[in-house]
Amino acid sequence: MIIVKEYSDNPVDKFPEDVQAQVKAPDEPTRAAIIALVNALIAEQSPAPDVFGTWADLLAGASRLLPASVFRPVLPAEHQVATRWRQSALSGTDFKDIRNAVSVAWAKCGQTPEVVIGRLRDNYGATISKTQALTFKKADSDGITPAMMATPGPGEVLLLECTLEGIHTFLIEVHSSGARYLIQGYQNGYSAVWWVSSCPVDLVIDQPVPPGRADMRGASGAGKDIAASYAQVVQMVVSMVRDGYDVLVSGRSAWRQLPFDPSDNAPLAYHGEVALYVNVYRFCNPQAVRDRTGVQAGALSVQGVLSLPVDPPAVDRDGVLAALAMLGLQADYSTVTDVQGRTIHRFKVTADQQGQQQALTGKILTRVGATDVTRLRQTDLPVRGQQIEIGYNQFGLEKTVTRSVQ
């Protein structure tokens, strides 16, 4: 519900055609999207209307709101952020700050996987374990295909963080069904928010999106399953690791055939040895995350990108320590701040009553069962006498042992 003062003191009941003709946009899809958004604002039922002085003010606000409307709030705290961002977009007040915040999180390819995993953990209680860190160069490039084509067991989800040295980092979400989803941003090209959505406008890159890039997103992004073309993507990656970024495959540049940014010429000017780094993460509780988000199909990582920044739940130190005691473990609790200013909570084992064969003493715990150690409660443990898997950090990877509930 909106009021445009130059039109009437009453809520607008329709979007006049002569005003629709005033909508300025770089292309027809964007123009149509702005008109559809204004119609939605007019039809919206709300306790208080949004008030604009002129139609021009409304159109400017709708243009700002369009790329900010793709976020998908789930939590009450996320809805509060979404409401603030909506008002900022419509009024223009502090909207630059919002754009900057989204840019910091989602405009750099190397940071996208980390932020995705962090949002899924902090917002939706995901338990995600880093299980492998693989490096492939020309001599061992035969290992790329089995690593990137691996399919998890029934109901499981893997995240493959793939980095082509010096050029690009992208995330592949892999489901047991064989479905695969590409999640990425590309610095100075597009944000991850634009990539996973269908919005014609990128909130971060303040310029028209080239049609070729939009077509690439339509084929390989927007939350679509890319299983049908994924083997070809892997083939191109293998070829570049073996023979360089400028290698030709079937008479065409391999780089130009990949759904990253074919128009970027920088890779073709890189003549050093190409390395591929693959970090493998395993979702321990994908269904629990689906239940919390309501997203029962498609990529969980898409919801991670379309989440909103909120404070993570407080860590109940005493509750965690009480649950660990039921496993015969004593631990010290501490916090550290990472390079992005986030607080990292650590539970380091100081005593292990059951560790005769494989002691956890001195280890930093990651999870108990499918629960991240920072969220652990006694109710998360099975009945006394039963065993449960415990994850701990060893040289950046998760290793596991089992312990009995006492």
Looking at residue 239, what is its pLDDT?
A: 97
Three-state SS across the chain?
CEEECCCCCCCCCCCCHHHHCCCCCCCHHHHHHHHHHHHHHHHCCCCCCEEECCHHHHHHHHHHHHHHCCCCCCCHHHHHHHHHHHHHHHHCCCHHHHHHHHHHHHCCCCCHHHHHHHHHHHHHCCCEEEEEEEEECHHHHHHHHHHHHCCCCCCCEEEEEEEECCCEEEEEEEECCCCEEEECCECCCECHHHHHCCCCCCCCCCCCCCHHHHHHHHHHCCCCCCHHHHHHHHHHHHHHHHHCCCCEECCEEHHHHCCCCCCCCHHHHCCCCCCEEEEEEEECCHHHHHHHHCCCCCCHHHHHHCCCCCCCCCCCHHHHHHHHHCCCEEEEEEEEECCCCCEEEEEEEEEECCCCCCCCCCCEEEEECCEEHHHCCHHHCCCCCCEEEEEEEECCEEEEEEEECC
Token pair for residue 327? 């496993």
Looking at residue 271, what is its pLDDT?
A: 85
Looking at residue 359, what is its pLDDT?
A: 86
Token pair for residue 271? 């003549």
Q: At what angle do helices 95-106 and 76-91 cross, to 10 degrees?
A: 130
- Determine the Cα–Cα distance for residues 284 and 301; give it in Å rounded to an integer: 14
Looking at residue 323, what is its pLDDT?
A: 98
Contact yes or no for 163/313 (Cβ under 8 A): no
Q: Which residues have CB under 8 Å from 392's CB, separation 6+? A: 349, 360, 363, 364, 365, 366, 398, 399, 400, 401
- CATH class of the region 317-404: mainly beta
Sign of CA dihedral 10, 11, 16, 18: positive
What phi, psi does 375 have (nearest 5°)?
-110, 5
- Determine the Cα–Cα distance for residues 226 and 171; give it in Å rounded to an integer: 12
Token pair for residue 381? 């443990």
**CA neighbours within 13 Å on the CB side: how many for 258?**
30
Residue pLDDT tens, the chain, 406 long: 899 998 888 899 999 999 999 998 988 999 999 999 999 999 998 888 999 999 999 999 999 999 999 999 999 999 999 999 999 999 999 999 999 999 999 999 999 999 999 999 999 999 999 999 999 999 999 999 999 999 999 999 999 999 999 899 999 999 999 999 999 999 989 999 999 999 999 999 877 888 899 999 999 999 999 999 999 999 999 999 999 999 999 999 999 999 999 999 999 999 889 999 999 999 999 999 999 999 989 999 999 999 999 999 999 999 999 999 999 999 999 999 876 778 899 999 999 999 877 789 999 999 999 999 999 999 999 999 999 999 999 999 999 999 999 9
Looking at residue 135, what is its pLDDT?
A: 98
- Determine the Cα–Cα distance for residues 141 and 228; give it in Å rounded to an integer: 22
Looking at residue 272, what is its pLDDT?
A: 86
Sheet holding 157-164, edge to edge: 128-136, 276-283, 157-164, 168-175, 180-183
- Determine the Cα–Cα distance for residues 158 and 171; give it in Å rounded to an integer: 10
C-alpha distance from residue 387 to each of 44, 100, 130 (Å): 53, 47, 22
Looking at residue 45, what is its pLDDT?
A: 87
The residue extents of the domains of the chain are 2-104, 105-305, 317-404
Q: Which residues have CB under 8 Å from 233's CB, separation 6+? A: 182, 226, 258, 259
- Determine the Cα–Cα distance for residues 363 and 366; give it in Å rounded to an integer: 9
* pTM over 0.85, yes/no: yes
